[in-house]
Structure 1
Amino acid sequence: MKKIISGFIGIFLLISTVACTKQPNLAGLDLETWKSDRGGCQGKRLAMLEKVKSLKGEIKGVSANDMDDYLGKPDIQQLADRNQKYYIYFFEPGTHCQNKTQKSSALSMSIRFSALGIATEVTFQHGTP
């Protein structure tokens, strides 16, 4: 009986964690312009770099599904071990603009999601992690 109750409590906590994800405050970020500059190939995202860096803490804790709604589909999605994944968004044009299969060293932001689909880390680098 105790195992059944423990199981129900575990399931409830898991559902509560996933259902109650953080809603980020991305005020000051032009999300329509961001989404329209797919891959950063038009260079519009580069002007938003400092604003996005300042919102790094707001991005952490957001679910992957919500991130799709806010920032649009990632330019690159990478799967990692232990069911983690990375969303990569480019800020500037690079070789990825001509050929999506080419590695690019353009400035990018990587968002790491846990196995539960919650953003746990945001980093900025050239290329992909």
Structure 2
Amino acid sequence: MQQSAVCFLLTTTLFACGPAPDQFGKLDLKKWRSDRGGCNGIRATLLPDFKAEIHNLKGKTANTIGELLGRPDINQIADRNQKFYVYFLEKGSHCDKPGTKSNSRSVAIRMSAIGLATEVTFQNGLP
């Protein structure tokens, strides 16, 4: 009995540590992650596919969002232990001078205090 539980945990752990997926519904995650900061214009072309999957992003953990979409371009701390993962959708001043304020189109995913995605918004710059 104990041996089967250990085998199950080992198998689950091995599969959980696999490579990040390349597809999330219609969204090509490999292309999304390759366009850091939206500086190459690839994310803008993927926007319709991203919007089609918004409802599937809500409720995912911060770790899962990071695995799917890659490290956020900006990780912004908000009130009440919430945070935003911000991904730029187009080239802007942040591409030429990292760390500078940018008004480029972006998408922000709000993470709750318990680390779950609760809201996805689109804006120019930061939320």
- So what's the TM-score if we normalise by structure 1? 0.78
Cα separation, 1, equivalents of 2:26 and 2:50: 9
Equivalent residue, structure 2, for 1:109: 107
Contact map agreement 2:105 2:123 (CA 8 A) in 1:
yes
C-alpha separation in 2, matches of 1:107 and 1:83: 25
Paired with 2:80 and 2:44, the residues of 1 have a C-alpha distance of 32
For the residues of structure 2 that align with 1:107 and 1:81, how far apart are their CA atoms? 23
State the Cα deviation string for residues 49-87 of structure 1 (Å, max 9, x = none).
111112111111010001111000000000011110000
Gaps of 5+ in 1: 1-24
Distance in 2 (CA, whole Å) between partners of 1:58 and 1:46 is: 19
Amino acid corresponding to residue 111 of structure 1 in structure 2: I
Quick check: 2:61–2:117 contact (8 Å CA) kept in 1? yes
Give the Cα–Cα distance (whole angstroms) in 1 for the partners of residues 46 and 37 of structure 2.
Answer: 14
Cα drift, residue 26 of structure 1: 2.1
The CA distance in 2 between the partners of 1:122 and 1:84, in whole Å, is 13
Can you give the 5+ residue segments of structure 2 that lack an aligned partner in the other structure?
1-22
- Rounded to whole Å, the distance in 1 between the matches of 2:27 and 2:49 is 7
Name the structure 2 match of 1:125.
123
More helix by share: 1
SS at structure 1 position matched to 2:103: coil
Query: Cα RMSD (Å) of the superposition?
Result: 1.1
Q: Say how many residue pairs are matched.
A: 105
Does 1:80 find its partner at 2:45? no
Per-residue displacement from partner, 1:74-115 (whole Å, max 9, x unpaired)? 000000111100000011000010112111111110000000
- Identical counterparts, % of pairs: 51
Task: Choose the corresponding residue for 2:55, options 30, 54, 57.
Answer: 57
The answer on 1:29 being equivalent to 2:52 is: no
Moved over 4 A (4+): none
